[in-house]
Structure formats: structure tokens, C-alpha cells
Amino acid sequence: MLRQYDVIVIGGGPMGLSTAFHLSKRKVRTLLLEQFTFFNQLGSSAGMSRQFRLPYPEAYMVKLVKQSIPFWDELQSLTPTTLLDKVGTLWFGDPKVHSTEGNIAEAEKALQELNVPYTTLTAAEIEREYHFRDLPSDYTGLFQPDGASIDLRAVQQTLYNWNAASPFVAMEDEAPVTRVTQHGRTFEVMTPKGAFTAEKLVLVPGPFANGVFQLLGFRIAATYWNMASAFYRITEPGIQYPTWFVFQNAAGDNGNEFYGFPEVSWDHPGTIRVASDFVIQPLDSPEQRTLVPNPRELEYTAQWVRDHMTGLAPVPLFTSTCLVALSRIPNKELLIDFAPAYVPNHRNIVLYATGWAAKFVPLLGRILSDLALDGHTPFDISHFATGATYLKPL
């Protein structure tokens, strides 16, 4: 086993796998460390499906999704498995609601700015074309045809296979980082499998970010959502939803925003996943998380399914959870930056943390590898600078 690398990537989820992939293409000796096992279900990539979508309230996010498309094409060229099942994105609901995901009118404006095609819909059209029912008559919607279900497992497998075959990448699982020390420009990274050294670090530990960042003397201001999903049996054969998101006003502790998928062949076929995009109790640290979904969040989701969806059994067959770290600074969905300046050699420590980024996996690996090797990237990441998000360590 080699002990010395050019870059050590900490975090073996989709972002780490993608970063190693891009580093390997530049023939850089890379070590990818995963604290659990590759493909584990304990972090932000738990579950098998994610949404690829262009609607965002911010034009810079729409632009970034557009920029990710050639990188998706590149990844797709490495596998016969379809990575993006293109079924379209349906955003609908109360046009007055401004939520964690934005607002429908703002998204339309951003899509127009970037020349992204979409159609607008009335409540009656949403019911007629997309199987929803009993929607308030003032609901509106937009349909964007490039949206897709992401086969997250296949994305990871494709990247993993590439890295496993690459002479430039070593992957170690069950290798949590317990200490990082600096000797001049060299980082020494301690794990139960021994110590490894490199002059560059890329930190992508998902919701476990602060556990790693603290080893380098900083942390970010984050909150944690243990998100609940439910899989409903399809009772009307052939019924096919797009990927969708509904904007509604919260009612008490019911955040009242839900999202869902069509049936996909790779994730509990015969069912579709519907989930709540809120949590009743955010967490202060990942350690507070349990693998049991919040029953009230599940019940609010089930009520939505019973009231407004067709062709599904009223009670879910399976449930699951997924832990995500969210930035506490408003409008800072993703954090992509170097470590703060008070950390020695901070420009040699690159990080990505917080937010929903599965749709950016192939592109973010490229951006993080650019930052690690070149100190800059041609992609506009100015909106994701950590700035005030950093806290001194406890």
C-alpha cells in the first residue's frame, strides 16, 4: 500500500468518487478515504434515486446545472446503465409560496434568462396530464422536459469501477480519519489503516463534514435534516409520474412541501417514492440522527398522497431516511471553497459541504479537482464561497 500521494480525498461518497475520477484523468496519484464502506447508506447519498432538475430560483444555479450536462454525458459514456431517466421535472403549487426550494415564478424567470425550455400549467392541466387530483384551483405549475431521475447507485458504481481500474487511484474503506497534522507543506492523515501523506486535501465528507474539518481547526455553521421517504405501491399499472415538487404553505409543524419520482427500475420497482422536503426537528449534529423516519413527517406525506395522488396504495410499503447537512447561512445552498485563511496551507485544502448536490456530482468532481490542482476553476463558484459560514472550532 502506498503511503504518499499527490492528493488525499476524504469522503468516499459520490463527490469523493467523482473527485478521484477527475484527478485520475489528470494522472494525479490520489487516495480516496471512506470512513464506512463504499456505497453505505449512512450519509447524504442514502437511497437510490435523486432528482436532476433545471428549475432553480437563481439563474446561476440553472447555469450550473446546464454546465453539468456534458459531464453527465461523459459519465454516461462509461456505462451501459442509464444514469439519468429523463421524465421531466414538474414544479407546481401555490404560486405565492417562497420556500427552501424557491418560488415557481422566480424559477420561470431564471429559466427564461438561461433559455431553458419549459411549459406553464394550470391546476386543471396538472391534474389531467400528471395524475394529481383535487388541487386548489389557484395552483400553477411548470414542466421542464430535461428533468430526470438519477440512478444514484449506478452513478457511484460507474465512478467506483473507473477508480478501481485506474493506476492513479487507491481507495480505502473503513478508514475514518482520526488526526491530520501538518509538516511544512505536507499533510499527514491518520487512519486505522495507518498514516498517509499528501500536499493537497479535498474534503467531501457529506454530513460528517465538521468531524473532519475540526481536525484541521475549523468548522462550518450547519444544521442537519434526517429526511424521511416512503415507497407507495402502484395500484394502477402503467401510471407514470414525472419527478415533481409541490410548493405549499406550512400548516403548523407540517412543512407541507413534498416531492416524488416516477417508478424506476432500480429502486423498489412496483412502487414510487414520495418524500417530505421538511423536517419537524432539525438536528444539531449528525450523531443525533436515527435510522427511524419521523412518524409525523411520514403521516403528512401519506395524507398528501391520499388527498392528491392517484394510482397509489394509501399506506407505504417501505420507508427510509437520508441525512443532509444544510448551511445555516440563507441562500448558501452549496459550500465550495478552500479552508479558511487562518488554517495553515489553506489553499491546499479544498472542500465541498452542504446542500442537495446529486445533480452536480460529475461537475463538482471536476471543480474540486481544478481547485486542488490549479487553485482555480473556470466555473463560477463565487456564490458558494464559505465566507461568514466558518466558525472557529469549539
The smaller minimum CB distance to ligand BEZ, of residues 245 and 384, is found at: 245
Beta bridge mates, 356 = none
DSSP state of 99: B
Q: Is 140 left (phi over 0), alpha (psi -120 to 50) or beta?
A: beta
Q: Which residues are catalytic?
A: 53, 101, 259, 277, 322, 356, 359
The smaller minimum CB distance to ligand BEZ, of residues 90 and 212, is found at: 90
Rounded Cα distance between 323 and 283, Å, is 10
Produce one character per residue of 254-293: b if its CB has 16 or more CB atoms within 10 Å, e if not.
bbbbbbbbbbbeebbeebbbbbbbbbeeebeebeebeeeb
Binding site for ligand BEZ (CB under 6 A): 51, 53, 245, 259, 277, 356
Output the smallest distance, CB 257 to ligand BEZ, in A: 8
Output the smallest distance, CB 355 to ligand BEZ, in A: 8
Q: For strands 49-52 and 219-220, give the pairing.
A: unpaired
The smaller minimum CB distance to ligand BEZ, of residues 259 and 352, is found at: 259
Rounded Cα distance between 92 and 132, Å, is 11
Nearest residue by C-beta to ligand BEZ?
356
Output the smallest distance, CB 356 to ligand BEZ, in A: 3
The smaller minimum CB distance to ligand BEZ, of residues 21 and 245, is found at: 245
Output the smallest distance, CB 152 to ligand BEZ, in A: 12
Rounded Cα distance between 213 and 196, Å, is 17
Give me the torsion for CA of 9, 14, 19, 21, rounded to 10°.
110
